[in-house]
Every structure is written in C-alpha cells, then in structure tokens.
C-alpha cells in the first residue's frame, strides 16, 4: 500500500498533465495553470492573474528571431484577454485591437484609430484603403523595435466577411513575416478559430508558430480562487463552475456554493443569470435546438437513440447538432476504456462536458417558469436537493479520473499506463481503469465520496470482478487505487494505493 498526497507543480522543464502540460508536437500547447508566482529569466509578476505556461510560450515567441504568429483560442471566461493584457504590460510596444462583429472595412477604420492612438499621430490618408497598406505603415513607424499586434475576438471579422483570413494571410506573407513583428490572433469561438486559422482549408493554415488552446483549470488548482479548505465544499463549487477562472473568481467571494448560486446564477442582475444561453447564441443562430439537445442530455438521456426519441427526431437529424456541440467543447462522447475504435464504438455515451452548462441544464433550465415568476427560492431548493448527489457522483468521478491521469503521466506506477478511462457493461463496471498493454498490467480505481473514511471493504466488489476485467483487457496483474474525500481507516493490502483529498 502506498499513501499519496498531491504535490505542488514542478519546474518548467517537466512535462505531463499532472505537472503542467508542456509543448506537444507541432508547437501545440494545452495550458492549465491560472494563478501563479512566476519568475523566469528576469520576467517577474506579482501573483499574476493569468496563466504562467501561456506567458512562457508568449515570451518565447517574442524573444524568437524574426516574426511570429501566435493563435490563442478557447471558450469564453477562460482568461484569454487577461493574458493579453498582462503580456502587453511587459511589452509596451504592443497594439491591441478588439475586433467587432462588423464588416472588414468597418473594422479597418476602427483599427486605424487604435493604431493612431498607439503611434501618437494619425496615419497617412493614402494607406487607409486596405489592411495591407495600413499594417505596412504601422510596422514601418516602430523604429526597428519588435512590436506586438493583437487581434482579440479575431473570428468576429471573418464571421461577417469570410474573405478576411485571406486578407490577413496576404498581409502576413507580404508585410508582417519579414517585419520583426509578433502577431497574436485571439478568439473565443473554438470552431470559428479552427476553421478560419488552423484547419487545412484556411488561408492561414501552416503559418502560425504556436497554438495555445485555453481549457479549464484542473480541480487541483481551483482552490486558489477561494479560502475554503473543506474538500466537500470544493467539489460542490467545482460541480457548478468547473475550472473556468471567471466563474471561480466569482464563487470565491461567497462562503458556500448555495449562497453563490443564489446571488449569481439566480440573480437577474448578475452576468451568470443568462450566461449559458448567451454563450449558445454566440455560437449559433439556432440556439433553441441546441438547448433542447442539452436539456435532453442533462435529464439523463446519454445514448444517441435515447436523445433522438426524447426529442422526436431521427438519429440522422441529430448527429450534426451533436458534432457542433462537441466541437465547441460543450458535449463529449465517452466510450469504455476497452474500446479499440472509439469513433466506431456503439457503446458511446453523450454527456455535457462544460460544468456550468451541465449544472444550468440539469437544475435551472427545467425551472425556467419558476424563475420567470420570480420564485428563485424554490429553484434554489431544487439545487439544494439535487446538487450533492450530482457533485459527489459523476463530478467527483471525473475529478478522480483527472488525478488518475496525472499520476499515470507522472510515472506513479512502475509501468506505463497506455489508456485511462471508465468501464461499463451489462453487469460489470469500474469507476476507473488504466491499462498497460505491453506489460500486461491493469490498475482499477474506486472513487469514495462519502463523509466517512474509506475502509478496505470498499474494494470487495471490484476485487470480485477483477478476474473478468483482467480477461477483458488481456492483462495478467492488477493493482488498485482508491480515492477518498474523507481519508482512510483500517488496514489496507499492499496492492492498493490510497489518494486522500486533492
């Protein structure tokens, strides 16, 4: 038996999900940390409300010889603009521009105003006809210093004018690429940023020197947004906010999750009151159809046929909607860890991946009539009755899986873990399973969220099923790991690893 407690993040040189993800192949970064103390190579910050890994990437790109083109994208409220603002404070020679949902020509006029303010004087009238001439004049007046040009909400222009990415591509190839410039394209629509900048069909494909996909924070970092040390309260809050920094900051001002929900999600004067539907409308004009699908999934329908039957649709009419929801990161499709071809598997289950969206459609959406009548108190009672079982069930299992993956990546066991996930079948299930195909090892995990310390008996069922799970995964040896919010008691066998709290 080994007893495990989480440790602080290691140095920049170490990679792996549990240690703060580092660069992946193709200069593609998935980054997590949000509040940090950071000092590297003389670049310091005081408790930066940003993400240290992103700052590292941006600083590396700024210091690189020649020009660089960096793409930062991710869902709303994840801190993209905050990162740009902090980076700009380090590098005053930075021109920030917020793109509007207007035509390219209108945005050019706005950009020229921003550029004039940046330079301290008006631009030449002759350069006002196109982006290329305007950018050429801007970079030509910086006195040879490296400058940064930031387009925030870049996708807004391309959404109104599909030719705009080609305009930027031409400007990059003919002006910016050889002008000692760092161009940053930032956006909050993952599908639009992908199609306009990153995908093969985009004119800008292959020109970026770094990609930063901003995802939610891991559960282990979320406690830095509040003063609660109670593990159960942390899980309850996370079940609503997920790892979205803005939501975490908001909920961190309250003593408990229910006070936070009452004063924000149920308060018409709070930005969180209409947040979920506003996010849906920003992604699609057909927000009502997507809301129906999300409501069906939140009510417990997880199979494609179940969702279709619930909504009175054919499966073929549903798949495109689900694909869009998965592209935006709102929905995910999970399959048992043993499935060799997840995309073709018939055992896939759909569920809402974004915590705030899942919470809202599970507890608030069905009570819209009560909320409309001003009976927020009755809605809050619904939340009080249902949130604990949801938080300490599905959400806690997800937290444990996150930590399980980190442990595997950190080399916690003396064998590699090739695949991690859950397993479910007709009469066989495991909260977590990690498979070492080369060495024939299997790790089975149990998640215990009760208020009492876990005892060795919690593994009785899993031990009884271990033979069938070994055969199912073609494994020869099995170890166990138990996650418990409330600690452990009793004498545990040597083949069990114990993880208390997070």
pLDDT of residue 77: 87
Question: What residue has token string 């498979």?
Answer: 435
Query: In the sheet where 68-74 sits, what is the strand order?
Result: 28-31, 210-214, 68-74, 181-187, 147-152, 94-98
Angstrom CA distances, 242 to 33, 113, 352, 357, stand at: 14, 38, 12, 10
Which two structure tokens, joined as six digits, stand for 216? Answer: 């939610």
Mean pLDDT of 422-443: 94
Res. 247: pLDDT tops 70: yes
Mean pLDDT of 150-177: 94
Res. 48: pLDDT tops 90: no
How far is the C-alpha of 257 from the C-alpha of 138, rounded, in Å? 49
Quick: pLDDT tens for 204-245: 999 999 999 988 888 887 877 766 668 899 999 999 999 898
Q: How confident is the model at residue 126 (pLDDT cuts 50, 70, 90)?
A: low
- Based on DSSP, count helices (H) and strands (E) in the chain, helices before strands: 20, 18
Count Cα neighbours of 302 within 13 Å in the Cβ-side half-sphere: 14
Q: How confident is the model at residue 85 (pLDDT cuts 50, 70, 90)?
A: confident
Quick: pLDDT tens for 297-326: 999 999 999 999 999 999 988 999 999 999
Asked if 431 contacts 446 with a C-beta cutoff of 8 angstroms, the reply is yes
Residues 6 or more apart in contact with residue 165 via CB below 8 angstroms:
158, 196, 197, 202, 203, 204
Residue 26: strand pairing partners:
none
Q: How confident is the model at residue 80 (pLDDT cuts 50, 70, 90)?
A: confident
E strand or H helix that includes residue 357: helix 355-359
Please give the angle made by the CA atoms of 104, 327 and 172, to the nearest 5 degrees.
35
Res. 353: pLDDT tops 90: yes
pLDDT of residue 129: 74
185 closest CA partner among 279, 68, 329: 68
Res. 501: pLDDT tops 90: no
DSSP state of 471: H
pLDDT of residue 8: 35
Backbone angles phi, psi at 488, to 5 degrees: -140, 155
How far is the C-alpha of 258 from the C-alpha of 381, rounded, in Å? 9
- The percentage of residues in the chain with a pLDDT greater than 70, rounded to a whole number, is 88
Residue 183: strand pairing partners:
69, 149
The 3-state DSSP class for residue 351 equals strand
Mean pLDDT of 442-471: 94
Count Cα neighbours of 334 within 13 Å in the Cβ-side half-sphere: 17
Which two structure tokens, joined as six digits, stand for 237? Answer: 């809050």
- Ordered by where they begin, the domains of the chain are 11-214 (3.40.50.300), 225-396 (1.10.10.10), 411-500 (3.40.1350)
pTM: 0.84
Res. 27: pLDDT tops 50: no
Q: How confident is the model at residue 419 (pLDDT cuts 50, 70, 90)?
A: very high
How far is the C-alpha of 233 from the C-alpha of 396, rounded, in Å? 12
pLDDT of residue 357: 96
Quick: pLDDT tens for 372-396: 899 999 999 999 999 999 999 999 9
- The total number of residues written for the chain in this structure: 502
Res. 250: pLDDT tops 60: yes
Quick: pLDDT tens for 253-305: 999 999 999 999 999 999 999 999 998 888 887 899 999 999 999 999 999 99
Which two structure tokens, joined as six digits, stand for 454? Answer: 């876990």
Res. 478: pLDDT tops 90: yes
The least confident of 35-39, 170-174, 224-228, 346-350 is 35-39
Output Rg (C-alpha) for the chain, integer angstroms.
25
pLDDT of residue 127: 58
Residues 6 or more apart in contact with residue 406 via CB below 8 angstroms:
16, 17, 18, 19, 218, 220
Res. 45: pLDDT tops 50: no
Res. 66: pLDDT tops 80: yes
């Amino acid at each position: 038996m080994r007893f495990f407690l989480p440790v602080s993040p290691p140095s920049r040189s170490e990679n792996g999900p549990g240690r703060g993800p580092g660069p992946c192949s193709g200069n593609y970064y998935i980054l997590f940390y949000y509040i940090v103390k950071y000092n590297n190579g003389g670049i310091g910050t005081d408790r930066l409300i940003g993400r240290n890994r992103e700052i590292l990437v941006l600083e590396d790109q700024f210091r690189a010889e020649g020009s660089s083109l960096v793409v930062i994208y991710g869902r709303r409220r994840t801190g993209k603009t905050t990162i740009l603002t902090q980076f700009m404070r380090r590098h005053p020679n930075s021109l920030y521009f917020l793109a509007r949902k207007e035509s390219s020509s209108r945005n050019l006029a706005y950009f020229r105003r921003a550029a004039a303010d940046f330079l301290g004087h008006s631009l030449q009238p002759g350069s006002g006809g196109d982006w290329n001439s305007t950018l050429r004049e801007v970079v030509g007046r910086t006195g040879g210093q490296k400058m940064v040009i930031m387009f925030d909400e870049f996708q807004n222009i391309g959404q109104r004018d599909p030719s705009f990415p080609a305009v930027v591509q031409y400007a990059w190839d003919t002006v910016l690429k050889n002008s000692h410039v760092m161009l940053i394209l930032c956006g909050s629509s993952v599908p639009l940023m992908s199609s306009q900048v990153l995908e093969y069909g985009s004119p800008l494909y292959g020109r970026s020197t770094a990609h930063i996909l901003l995802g939610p924070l891991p559960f282990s970092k979320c406690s830095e947004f509040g003063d609660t040390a109670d593990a159960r309260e942390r899980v309850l809050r996370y079940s609503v906010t997920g790892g979205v920094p803005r939501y975490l900051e908001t909920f961190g001002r309250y003593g408990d999750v229910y006070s936070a929900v009452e004063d924000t999600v149920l308060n018409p004067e709070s930005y969180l009151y209409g947040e979920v539907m506003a996010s849906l409308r920003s992604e699609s004009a057909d927000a009502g159809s997507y809301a129906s699908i999300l409501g069906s999934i939140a009510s417990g329908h997880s199979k494609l046929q179940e969702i279709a039957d619930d909504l009175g649709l054919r499966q073929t009419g549903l798949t495109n909607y689900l694909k869009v929801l998965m592209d935006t990161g709102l929905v995910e499709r999970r399959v048992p860890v043993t499935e060799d071809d997840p995309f073709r598997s018939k055992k896939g289950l759909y569920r809402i991946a974004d915590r705030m969206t899942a919470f809202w459609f599970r507890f608030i959406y069905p009570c819209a009539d009560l909320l409309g009548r001003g009976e927020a108190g009755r809605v809050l009672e619904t939340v009080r009755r249902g949130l604990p079982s949801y938080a300490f069930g599905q959400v806690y299992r997800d937290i444990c899986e996150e930590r399980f993956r980190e442990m595997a990546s950190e080399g916690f066991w003396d064998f590699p873990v090739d695949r991690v996930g859950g397993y479910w079948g007709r009469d066989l299930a495991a909260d977590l399973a990690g498979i070492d195909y080369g060495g024939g090892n299997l790790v089975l995990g149990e998640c215990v969220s009760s208020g009492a310390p876990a005892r060795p008996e919690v593994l009785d069922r899993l031990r009884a099923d271990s033979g069938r799970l070994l055969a199912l995964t073609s494994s020869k040896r099995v170890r166990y790991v138990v996650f418990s919010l409330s600690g452990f008691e009793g004498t545990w066998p040597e083949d069990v690893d114990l993880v208390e709290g997070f």
